[in-house]
A and B are shown apart, each in its own frame.
Chain A
Amino acid sequence: MKYKGLFLFLSGAGIALVLGWVVFPLALYRTEPQPLSFSHKAHTGQPASMSCDSCHEFAEDGRFLGIPVVDQCAVCHAEPVGKTAGEKRLVEEFVKPKREIPWKVYSRQPDNAWFSHTTHVKKGALKCEECHGDHGQSESLRPYQVNRISGYSRDIWGPNISGIPSQPRLDMKMDRCLGCHAEKNMSQGCISCHK
C-alpha cells in the first residue's frame, strides 16, 4: 500500500491526539464527591433571594471568611427545611453536632498565593461573577475534580484542558491575575500577591 507510511503516521498522531485530548484529562483528574448536595439557586433565587455576602462574609479585619461555617447554616437550618434526605443529613450530621462540612473548594488557591477578596470586591469593585462565573446561580454542585499530580482543583487551570482561556474566562491561574493587574494598572510586584 502506497500510503501505508502516511497512514501509520497519521494514525499514530490520531491515537496520540485522542489520548491527549480525551483520555488524558480523564486520567489526570479524579472526581471527588461533595459531602452534601447544595443548590446555590435555592438560596439566591426566590423566595430566599440572598446575596453572595449573606453567607460568604467579609470580616471587619478585611479577611474573607470563605465558605460559611456550619453555625451560619444553622441560622435557617436548625431543623430540616423540607423533607429531602440531604436536609436530614445536613441537620443530623453537621448542624446538630456542630461539625464543619468538609466542602471541596473549587477555587482553592495554593498556599503561596495571597488573594484578598476584600481588596478586589470592596476596592476594586469586582463582581463575584467575574471570577466565579454563574456558580451562584447553579442548581447543584458540579463534580469537584482534583488534579492527581498537583492536587489543585480543576477550576484553577480552567475547564479547557488546552489552557486556552474560554470566554468568559473561568481559569484562575497567575497569568489571569497579572493580565487584569496590568490592564488596570495595579501592582505587579511578586510579593504583593505571594505569601
Chain B
Amino acid sequence: MEQKNKARYGMVVDLDRCTGCGNCMMACAVENNLAPAEKKANDRTGITWMRVYAMNNGKAFPAAETVFVPMACQQCDKETPCIAVCPQNAVDRDPGSGIVGQVPQRCLGCRYCMTACPYHARYFNWSDPSWPAGMEKALNPDVAPRMRGVAEKCNFCHGRWHAARARAAAQGRSEPDPADYIPACVESCPSRAILFGNLDDAGSEVAKACQEGNCFRFLARLDTESKVYYRSAKPWVREMAEGNRMPSGKDGNLS
C-alpha cells in the first residue's frame, strides 16, 4: 500500500552563487516542451516556467550591486493561492510529493490563478504554441504540449518525477532514488546554485540547507509556506525578499 505524504519536494536556491547565465531557463524550456516565442511575445506574454530576474540594491555606480533571482513556481504548501481560486480543479497539491501540479488540459483559461499567484510564476498560452517546422520531433515525450487558452507553470519537472517513479518500481522500491529525480534547472546549473530534494527527509541536503540562517522565502509574510527557499548572505537581498520591492527586470539590467 502506498503511504500518504511520503515526500515533500523543495528547493534551496543560493542567490550568492547565481551568475544569471540563463541555463536553468533554457533547460526548463527544452525539458518541458515550451514553444519558442511567437512574434509579438514579450516579457509579459512569453512563457518561461523558470525565469531569472535581475535585482539591484537601488544604488548607483560603482556601489550598485546586482543579484539574479531564478524564480519558478514557489510550490506553496499552505492555502496555495492558485488552488484556492481555480474553479476547475485544474491545479492541485499532489499528496504524495507536495508538488502543486497544474493540469493544463483541465484549465478553462480564466487566468484567476495568474492574478492570485503572488510570485507571477504562472503563464498563459495567448496563442497556439508553435514550433519551427520539424521541431515537434525534438519534443520531450514525457511532457504533454499545451494548447491555446490554458495556464501553465513549473511542476518540478513532473516528467522526470514520473520516470524516476517508474524506475523505482522496476527496482522494487517505493520511493524514487534522489539521484534519479533532479529537475532540469538543477541539473543544468553550472554553479550548483540550486539544491533539490525531499524537505521531509531530515538527512537530505535541502532539508539541512533550508534551516540555515541565511535562508529565506520570498514574501514569507503571506504565510503560504512555499517550498522554494532562497539563500543569500547579503542583507539587502533578504530585505528585498520581504516584498517591499518585487523582483523585476526593469529594476536592473545587465546585458
A and B: real partners? Answer: yes
Q: Does A137 make an interface contact (CB < 8 A)?
A: no
| Total A residues in contact with B, Cβ cutoff 8 Å | 26
| A:84-128 near B, CB below 8 Å | 110-112, 114, 116, 118-119, 122-123
Is the beta-carbon distance between B166 and A116 smaller than 8 angstroms?
yes
CA distance A173 to B23 in the complex (A): 39
| Total B residues in contact with A, Cβ cutoff 8 Å | 35
Q: Which of B56-64, B142-150, B191-199, B204-212 contacts A (4 or more CB under 8 A)?
A: B142-150
Q: Which of B38-46, B95-103, B116-124, B233-241 contacts A (4 or more CB under 8 A)?
A: B95-103
CA distance A184 to B166 in the complex (A): 19
Is the beta-carbon distance between A119 and B92 smaller than 8 angstroms?
no
| A:177-195 near B, CB below 8 Å | 184-192, 194-195
Is the beta-carbon distance between A123 and B169 smaller than 8 angstroms?
yes
CA distance A161 to B91 in the complex (A): 31
Which of A59, A112, A185: most chain B Cβ within 10 A? A112
Bits for A7-34, please: 1 = Cβ < 8 Å to B, else 0.
Answer: 0000000000000000000000000000
Partner of A191, one of B99, B145, B168, B171: B99
Which of B93, B95, B170: most chain A Cβ within 10 A? B170
Is the beta-carbon distance between B158 and A61 smaller than 8 angstroms?
no
Partner of A111, one of B2, B145, B166, B174: B145
Specify which chain B residues have a CB less than 8 angstroms from the CB of A112 in the assembled complex.
103, 105, 144
Q: Does B138 make an interface contact (CB < 8 A)?
A: no
Q: Does A130 make an interface contact (CB < 8 A)?
A: no
CA distance A194 to B103 in the complex (A): 7
Q: Does A63 make an interface contact (CB < 8 A)?
A: yes
CB distance from A76 to the nearest CB of B (A): 26
CA distance A184 to B1 in the complex (A): 8
Bits for B73-94, please: 1 = Cβ < 8 Å to A, else 0.
Answer: 0000000000000000111111
Specify which chain A residues have a CB less than 8 angstroms from the CB of B48 in the assembled complex.
none
Is the beta-carbon distance between A63 and B166 smaller than 8 angstroms?
yes
| A:114-161 near B, CB below 8 Å | 114, 116, 118-119, 122-123
CA distance A62 to B106 in the complex (A): 28
CA distance A60 to B142 in the complex (A): 17
Is the beta-carbon distance between A62 and B143 smaller than 8 angstroms?
no
Q: Does B159 make an interface contact (CB < 8 A)?
A: yes
Specify which chain A residues have a CB less than 8 angstroms from the CB of B17 in the assembled complex.
none
CA distance A187 to B95 in the complex (A): 7
CA distance A116 to B159 in the complex (A): 12
Specify which chain A residues have a CB less than 8 angstroms from the CB of B96 in the assembled complex.
187, 189, 192
Nearest A-chain residue to B3, judged by Cβ:
A185
Is the beta-carbon distance between B95 and A188 smaller than 8 angstroms?
yes
CA distance A195 to B93 in the complex (A): 15
Task: In the A-B complex, list the 8 residue pairs whose CB atoms are closest, starting with the nearest.
Answer: A191-B101, A189-B94, A62-B166, A112-B144, A62-B170, A62-B167, A119-B169, A116-B166
